[in-house]
Amino acid sequence: MPELLVELLSEEIPARMQARAAADLKRLCATAFDEAQLPCDRIDTYVTPRRLALVAHGLPESQPDTREERRGPKVGAPDQAIQGFLRSNGLAMEDLEERDTPKGRFFFAVIERKGASTADVLVDVIHKAVNQLAWAKSMRWGAHGFRWVRPLHSLLAQWNGKNLDMGLPLSGGGDLAVLASANHTVGHRFLAPAPISVTGFADYRAKLRDAKVMLDQDERRAGILEQAERLAAAEGLSLRDDPGLLDEVTGLVEWPVAVMGRIDDAFMDVPQEVLITSMRTHQKFFSLLDGEGRMASRFIAIANTEAADGGREVVAGNERVLRARLSDAKFFWDQDRKKRLEARAPDVAAIAFYQGLGTMADKTERMAGLARELASRVGADPDLAERAARLAKADLTTEMVYEFPELQGIMGQHYALNDGEPAEVAEAIADHYAPQGPNDRCPTDPVSVAVALADKIDTLVGFFAIDEKPTGSKDPFALRRAALGVIRLVIENTLRLPLGDMFVRAHALFGGTSMASADTVANDLLDFFADRLKVHLREQGVRHDLITAVFAPGGEDDLVRLLARVDALQRFLGTDDGANLLTAYKRASNIIRIEEKRDGRSYDGEVEPGRLVENPERDLYERLTAAHPRIAEDLQHERFGDAMGVLAGLRSPVDVFFDEVTVNCDEPDLRANRLRLLSHIRSALGGVADFSRIEG
C-alpha cells in the first residue's frame, strides 16, 4: 500500500503541546490531500518529546487526469476577445473548435491536464503543513526567522520507502532550503544516538524501538501505568489515580523506566496534600497509597533511561532532590502554624479582589454576612458559618499557599484544625471553592454549603453589578463555573433557596453607588442561571425548551421547585393529551396573533358568557373557568402532577371546540368573544409554563 512517512526531529517539545500538535498536523495534511485531489485511506500521527511523526496510508501514485471544457467568445467576436481567451488558458488558435449552441456558434476549448506525480505534490503538502502548524508558544531562530516550538534537527520524508528529495524552507517560504530531507533519523538521545536508516513506517517504528524509543504515545502511557502499578503492588501499595500527571509524564520520556523511591519519615507529618502537590508539581513523581487509602512513604519516578545499576543511582538522585523540596514544604508548614489563622485574617486587606469590588478583606466581610443569612436557609449554625467565612481566605497570606496556590482552602483547613477551630469550620474553609466543575465533589455539610454559596453568589453579583459579564466564549472570571457551582449546591442538597432574593441581599452588602441596580443584577443573573441550568441538565435528558418555558413567566427562582415543574411538564407532554393540547395551544396562539395584528387590538379581555351560543364553546368556557383556580391552587401547593392532570382534562373540550366552532364568523361581536375564549386557553396553560417556548 502506498505510504507517506514524515518525521520532524527537534529539541524537546513541551508535554502540554504534544497532543494538540499531533492532531493539528493530521488535520492540516488531510486538508492538503483533499485540496490536491489525493484521497487517503488513513492518517496516523505520533509524538514523543523529540519527534512529531505522520504516516499516511493509501495515497494514489498520482493525481487524477482532468478534462475540462470551456466556452470562449462567439464566433465572429472581435479578435481582441479571442486573443484574451487564448492567453488566459494558455492555448493557441488551433486548440479551439467551433460548436453550435442555442445562443449561436461559439469557440470551445478542451483542456486536458495530466495529474502530477504524488511525490511532487507531497513536497508542497509537507511545506504547507509545517509552516501552518501553530504552537501556543514558539521560538524564532536562524537568519530567516523560521518559527517552531523548538529548533528542528532533521527531516525524514519518505514516499513508498524512498527519500522525497526535498528541503524544508525554514524561512517560511521561498527557495532557500535549510533543512534537507534524509532517509534516516536517530534513536534515544543517550541510549542510542547513532543515525538509523529506515525504509518505511514498519521499519521506522521497529528500529526506533530497538533504539529505545517507544513511538506510540498510547503505548508509552500504558507502559508507564503497568510498570508503576507492578512496582506498587510488589510493596502492597496502590498507585494514586492521577490521569493528568500520567499524560504529562508520557510526554516527557521516550523510553519509560519506572523506579520506586522512599520519602523520609521526617516529612510524613506534613499534610499529604502538600507532599502530593510538591512531588507532582516539581518532580513529576507518582504518589502511592497504603491499604487504608493513606499516603505511603514511597513514590514512583519515571526515568527516561536504563541504568546499568538497575536504577539505584537514579533513585538516590531523585530522593536527594525530593528531600530538598520537602524540606522547604516542611519549613513552610512549621512557620505558617506559628501564627493563628484568625490573626492572619486582617492581612488579606492587602490583597485586591477586583477593581470596583474592593479588597479580599471586603469580600470576606460580605461573605460573612451572606453566609450567616444563608445558614438559616440551609440548616447550618449561623455562628459557625460566619466564622468559617471570615477565615476562608486567610490562608492566602501563608507561605505554603504562596508556593502552591492550588492548595488554597485545603491548607486553611489544616491550619484551622491546628488552631483548634471546630471541625465544621475547618471543613467549610476547605470546601468553599467547591464544586469547581461538573465532576468535582459537591459539599453536603450545611456550614460548608452556606460558605460555598456565599463565596460564589458574592462573586457573581459583584461582577454582574459592574458589568463584567461573560461574553461569547470569554469568561475571564469563571462566572459560568461559579453559577454551575451554585446550581449544583442547591440541587444536590435539595435547598429551597429563592435565588432572586439572595442576589438582592448580596447586592446590598456591596454598598456601591456606581453599580447596576439590585433588580437589574438579579434579573440578569436569573437569565444567566437559566442558560447554565440548561447546560447542566442537557446530559440528563432534560429538554432545554422546557426549562425556558418554566422560567419565562417569571417569578420562579427556586431551582428545586423549578425542576419539579419541568419534570411534571416533561411527563405531561410525553402523553397523548399533552402533545395534542400543545398543538391546540399553538393553533389558538397563531389565530389570536394573526387576528390581533389584522384588527390592531388585543383579545385578552373577559369572555361574555351571554354571547356563547354553541354548546362546545359554552362547555369550553365552563371547563376553563373551573380550571384556572384549580391550576393556581395546585401550583401554589407544588402539586405539579395534579396541575398537569387539570390541563389534560382540557384536551377534549378544546378539540371539540376547534372541530365544531367557527372562530372567524361573520358576526363581529361573536367573533371577538370567541377570540377572547381562545385567549383564555392560552392564559390557562400559561399559568403552568409559557407553552409558546416549547418546541414541537
Q: What percent of the chain has pLDDT over 90?
A: 58
Residues in CB range of 424: below 8 A, 6 or more apart: 381, 384, 388, 445, 447, 448
The predicted structure's pLDDT at residue 427: 97
The predicted structure's pLDDT at residue 281: 92
CA 142 to chain centre: 38
CA 486 to chain centre: 18
Peptide bond into 616 cis (omega under 30): no
The predicted structure's pLDDT at residue 173: 47
For 324-376, what is each residue's pLDDT tens digit? Answer: 999 999 999 999 999 999 999 999 999 999 999 999 999 999 999 999 999 99
Instruction: Inform me whether the pLDDT recorded for 264 exceeds 90.
Output: yes
Residues in the chain, how many?
Answer: 696
Phi, psi of 53 (to 5 degrees): -125, 150
The predicted structure's pLDDT at residue 145: 66
pLDDT band, very low/low/confident/very high, at 174 (cuts 50, 70, 90): very low
Q: Which domains does the chain have, with CATH numbers?
A: 3-62+117-210 (no CATH), 66-113 (no CATH), 217-334 (no CATH), 342-541 (1.10.3210), 570-693 (1.10.730)
Residue 470 region by backbone torsions, left for phi larger than 0, else alpha for psi between -120 and 50, else beta: beta
Does an H or E element contain 156, and which? strand 152-159
Phi, psi of 114 (to 5 degrees): -85, 135
Question: Using the 8-state DSSP alphabet, how is residue 359 labeled?
Answer: B
What Cα–Cα distance (Å) separates residue 399 from each residue in 339, 342, 647? 11, 16, 63
The predicted structure's pLDDT at residue 168: 75
Pair 675, 595: CB distance under 8 Å? yes
For 419-452, what is each residue's pLDDT tens digit? Answer: 999 999 999 999 999 999 888 999 999 999 999 9
Residue 37 region by backbone torsions, left for phi larger than 0, else alpha for psi between -120 and 50, else beta: left
Q: In the numeric block, which cell numbers belong to residue 692? A: 409558546
- With H, G, I as helix, E, B as strand and everything else as coil, classify residue 198: coil
Residue ranges in 295-381 assigned as alpha helix (H): 312-336, 341-344, 360-378
Question: Using the 8-state DSSP alphabet, how is residue 517 labeled?
Answer: P
Q: What percent of the chain has pLDDT over 70?
A: 97
Closest to 154 (Cα-Cα) out of 166, 144, 145: 166
For 626-657, what is each residue's pLDDT tens digit? Answer: 988 998 898 888 888 898 888 888 888 888 98
Q: In the numeric block, which cell numbers belong to residue 148? A: 517552531
Query: Rounded to an integer, what distance in angstroms lies between the CA atom of residue 690 and that of residue 19?
Result: 46
Pair 341, 364: CB distance under 8 Å? no
Q: What is the mean pLDDT of residues 685-691?
A: 82
pLDDT, the chain, mean: 90
The predicted structure's pLDDT at residue 110: 84
Residue 677 region by backbone torsions, left for phi larger than 0, else alpha for psi between -120 and 50, else beta: alpha
Q: What is the pTM of this model?
A: 0.79
**Range name among 26-30, 298-302, 610-614 with the lowest pLDDT average:** 610-614
The predicted structure's pLDDT at residue 507: 95
**Range name among 60-64, 394-398, 399-403 with the lowest pLDDT average:** 60-64
Give the torsion through C-alpha atoms of 370, 374, 376, 378, to 10 deg. -160
Q: What is the mean pLDDT of residues 282-295?
A: 94
Residue ranges in 36-174 assigned as alpha helix (H): 79-89, 118-132
Q: What is the mean pLDDT of residues 127-143?
A: 83
- Where b means 16+ CB within 10 Å and e means fewer, 151-169 reads ebebbbbbbbbeebebbbb
Q: Pairing state of beta strands 195-197 and 238-239?
A: unpaired
CA atoms within a 13 Å half-sphere pointing along the CA-CB vector of 648: 16
Instruction: Inform me whether the pLDDT recorded for 300 exceeds 60.
Output: yes
pLDDT band, very low/low/confident/very high, at 177 (cuts 50, 70, 90): very low
For 42-86, what is each residue's pLDDT tens digit? Answer: 999 999 999 999 999 999 988 887 777 888 999 989 999 989 998
The predicted structure's pLDDT at residue 142: 61
Pair 143, 127: CB distance under 8 Å? no
Residues in CB range of 539: below 8 A, 6 or more apart: none
- CA 370-346-468 angle, 5° bins: 50
Instruction: Inform me whether the pLDDT recorded for 143 exceeds 60.
Output: no
Residue 543 region by backbone torsions, left for phi larger than 0, else alpha for psi between -120 and 50, else beta: beta
Instruction: Inform me whether the pLDDT recorded for 271 exceeds 50.
Output: yes
